[in-house]
Homo-oligomer: A and B are copies of this chain.
Amino acid sequence: MTLKTLTAASAAQLDKDLMSESMGFSIDQLMELAGLSVASAVYKVHPPSLGTTILLACGPGNNGGDGLVAARHLYHFGYAPRVFYPKPTNQPIFGGLVKQLKALDIPFVDTDGFEAALGEADLVVDALFGFSFKPPVRKPFDTVIQQIIDSKKEVLSVDVPSCWHVEEGPPKQGDLGSQFKPSYLISLTAPKPCVEHFKGQRHFVGGRFLGKKFAEGYGLDVPEYKGVEQIAELQVGARVEKL
């Protein structure tokens, strides 16, 4: 089995195409489905019976938005999510997502409270940076990454392990984040090349909205989703092909 992976540039182009005049998706739709798949992956690796306290660390971009959507679905799945979202984005979709969480009384944790929240978490969802991340890691996320590493908590990363280079993988030994090694990864739409360096336990793909013809235009295969599931499991350690 070979994992076909999308470079940062191809992933950006694919998103742009989905939201183009001809395809007609809105960011609201895509983020809803992506976030739902993230929540489904959490359920798969860590069902509520193993502990319901999920800490979602959300960055300022679309990756963070996926985390905010996931937090809402996790609440409805029976979890007690907590959200860290220190740099809110001033766009309607992000404002709406925050309101939806507040209406459910889902607690928001600030930078000062992050370490304590980490200590209480059963699982951390890393939705800090996605495929458009470019180093360096800015404040307060440098501290946050180190705190997550130091906590030794199990982490599920959304699309790209945060602070990893989308194509090259983890930072070099000694640099911030070189020890950031999530247990679980959910790739959105398709894996990114850095997945070659992912040595965690389980790898999923989500975002069930790619048609065969559209996927083929990017050289991708449509993942083999089962039934009505919003995620499909991929093989950890599979050979990687960069598209």
Contacts and interface: CB of A to CB of B under 8 A. Distances in A.
A116 interface: no
A23 interface: yes
Given A39-B228, A76-B208, A104-B211, A99 B23 contact: yes
A98 B22 CA distance: 10
A211 B103 contact: yes
B26 A228 contact: no
A29 interface: yes
Contacts of A26: 26, 28, 92-93, 96
A225 B230 CA distance: 16
Give this chain's copy count: 2
A18 to B, nearest CB: 9
Q: Is the interface of A mostly helix, strand, loop or mixed?
A: helix
A24 interface: yes
A72 B209 contact: yes
Contact of A103 (B23, B97, B105, B225): B23
A209 B23 contact: no
A114 interface: no
Contacts of A88: none
A43 interface: yes
The 3 closest A-B pairs by CB, nearest first: A24-B99, A24-B96, A28-B28
Given A23-B103, A77-B227, 15 more contacts: A24-B100, A26-B26, A26-B96, A28-B29, A29-B29, A40-B228, A43-B227, A76-B208, A76-B209, A77-B228, A100-B209, A103-B211, A103-B214, A104-B211, A228-B230
